[in-house]
Amino acid sequence: MPLIRVKAGAEVGRTTDITNEVITIGRDPNAMVKVMDHGVSRQHAEIFKIGEMCFIRDLKSTNGTFVNDQKITEELLRAGDLVRIGNTILTFEDGGAPRPEEKQVDFDQGRELSAHSTIELKLDRTPDKNLPAPEKVGKELENRNLSALYDVARIIGTERDAQGLLNKILELALQSTNADTGYLLLLEKGTGKLVPKAAISKEKTEPKISRTIVKRVMQYARAILTSDAMLDSRFAGSESIVMKNIKSVICAPLVSRDKITGILYLHSSKVAQEFSSEDLELATAISLQAGMAISAFSSGEVLRKTLVSFVRTLVTATEIRDPKMQGHSERVANFSMAIGTQLKLSKAELQKIHLAALLHDIGKMGLPLHAPEGSDKEKWKEEHVHLGEKLVASIEGFEDVLPGVKYHHEYLDGSGFPHKLKGDAIPQIARILAVANDFDNATARGGLKGDGLPVKEVLIDMGRAGTGKYDDAVIQALLVCHRSGSLFEPSTPFEM
């Protein structure tokens, strides 16, 4: 829920939620936000909401209302806007969920590993004559392991989102080994640092990761099980380890093409149940499959980024003919991404929307630069859609991108072109592109002079037209993105 917070003044930190009720500001005793500064009128200003848009209006005050140091009569608010009334400064906040921060893990400064409580598992399964033959695994453990490996294969075969893949594999590893906490860390290209990509913990306080264990796994490419960390010499004298009751640790490398790409780190604090050698073998098998799957995802992302770079070059060549069109497709892609993210679409869906937005006007490269006058103008407009459809349809693998290009000028009320589709016949990807495209056209080239209309005016007009012309959910997402500030933030879905 959006809100107003007092940033400077008599009641610093006080917040007022912005609901459908008008918020009055001033010296009046009945004002919802009282500002008793000298020079503030009794009824100085008001904040009101229309749909997902929040406005502030000056009520003909004596000394004026200022937004970001600009005197206003009425203004559409965005996250971070500073409102000055007298000597009091209010800040407008979107009130949405905070953006997730990159997961951090804490490494302990361990010493050497204890020989009596540690097992190492080589990834090379060539028998070691110096090691005793492993105990036979019981039927129950064998079935558990087969079931877990089947589930890993199923996840790898069906999951299309890299982060979803990491989360599901880690969750499965925890369930299969009955661990309390687990991490998946990947090597960061360029720096070589291990970066946490997924973490799950059943405990209130997450324990530290043993730097000693991780270093050994990375150095020798061997999975390690330490059966009782509290007896391990590297933890000697460590009160925090005793307090957190860390009982057992498994650390297995993620390997692809004979190179370590990360680690799977599991630990259990259960006094009555330590990890077994069978748990180590299962975790190692899971980590090896995960390493290959993640590598495949990364390779796919590289190819997709290369493809997007080629598409951008193609779009630039199309737009360079007309200075007024330069940057249009990139902006539409960014707006579409923001809207799709607000609608909580999957990464795969966002990738399709991003490509469709970049390519939505690609058909113009086969037409004269300027539209002809008279009846031929409508034909020219429709022709660029048909040409774009033909071009994108010829690209193998772009079948899911095609509907966005083909239908981006269709409207729910049937007033669009060239297919005159209505309602549910228009796919979601095209509904999003229609809103993003019209928004950019209006703000960049709208108005009598063709130099763009004010964003506030465009949002109000599109909001009014939303229930008939546009998808209402898409319009609401557009308004929320503007309010939160995410609408104008460049983004790409092609990241691991």
CA 356 centroid distance within chain: 19
Residue 101, pLDDT > 80, answer: no
Q: Choose the most confident range, by mean pLDDT, from 126-140, 364-378, 464-478.
A: 464-478
**Model pLDDT, residue 245:** 47
Beta strands 65-67 and 70-72: pairing type?
Answer: antiparallel
Q: What value does the mean pLDDT take over residues 180-197?
A: 88
**Model pLDDT, residue 97:** 53
Beta-strand runs (E) in 35-172: 45-50, 53-58, 65-67, 70-72, 74-76, 82-85, 88-93, 107-108, 118-122
**Model pLDDT, residue 288:** 86
Tell me the pLDDT band of 24, cut-offs 50, 70 and 90. Answer: very high
Question: pLDDT exceeding 90 applies to what percent of the chain?
Answer: 43
**Model pLDDT, residue 117:** 55
Tell me the pLDDT band of 103, cut-offs 50, 70 and 90. Answer: low
Out of 3.30.70.1400, 3.30.110.40, 3.30.450.40, 2.40.50.180, select the CATH number for domain 118-128+136-299: 3.30.450.40
Lowest-confidence pick of 76-90, 238-252, 472-486: 238-252
Residue 455, pLDDT > 80, answer: yes
| b/e per residue 80-117 (b: at least 16 CB within 10 A) | ebebbbbebbbbbbbbeeeeeeeeebeebebeebbeeb
CA distance 381 to 199: 51
Q: Choose the most confident range, by mean pLDDT, from 189-198, 299-308, 330-339, 464-473.
A: 330-339
CA distance 410 to 311: 23
Alpha helices in 180-238 (DSSP H): 211-220
Lowest-confidence pick of 40-49, 81-90, 110-119, 140-149: 110-119
Tell me the pLDDT band of 104, cut-offs 50, 70 and 90. Answer: low
**Model pLDDT, residue 358:** 93
Same fold, 118-128+136-299 and 321-484: no
Residues 123-179 have pLDDT tens digits of 554 555 555 544 444 455 566 667 777 777 777 777 777 788 889 999 998 988 888
Residues 316-337 have pLDDT tens digits of 877 787 777 889 999 999 999 9
C-beta of residue 51 within 8 angstroms of C-beta of residue 463: yes
Instruction: Give the angle subtended at the CA of 158 by the CAs of 153 and 162, to the nearest 5°.
Output: 95
* Stronger pLDDT, 378 or 253, i.e. the higher one: 253
Place of tokens 């557009």: 478
C-beta of residue 288 within 8 angstroms of C-beta of residue 255: yes
Query: Is domain 321-484 annotated with CATH 1.10.3210.10?
Result: yes
**pTM exceeds cut of 0.85:** no
**Model pLDDT, residue 279:** 86
Lowest-confidence pick of 88-102, 373-387, 425-439, 452-466: 88-102
Structure tokens at 298: 């990364």
Q: DSSP 3-state assignment of 210?
A: strand
Mean pLDDT of the chain: 83
CA distance 119 to 88: 65
Residue 239, pLDDT > 80, answer: no
C-beta of residue 14 within 8 angstroms of C-beta of residue 6: yes
CA distance 306 to 319: 20
Lowest-confidence pick of 50-59, 191-200, 262-271: 262-271
Lowest-confidence pick of 216-225, 237-246, 456-465: 237-246
Q: What value does the mean pLDDT take over residues 439-462?
A: 90
Tell me the pLDDT band of 271, cut-offs 50, 70 and 90. Answer: low
Residue 99, pLDDT > 80, answer: no
Tell me the pLDDT band of 211, cut-offs 50, 70 and 90. Answer: confident
**Model pLDDT, residue 244:** 43
Q: DSSP 3-state assignment of 436?
A: helix
Residues 6+ apart with CB under 8 A from 248: 225, 226, 227, 228, 229, 267, 268, 270, 274, 275
Residue 241, pLDDT > 70, answer: no
Boundaries of every domain in the chain: 2-94, 118-128+136-299, 321-484
Question: pLDDT exceeding 70 applies to what percent of the chain?
Answer: 82
Query: Is domain 2-94 annotated with CATH 1.20.1260.10?
Result: no
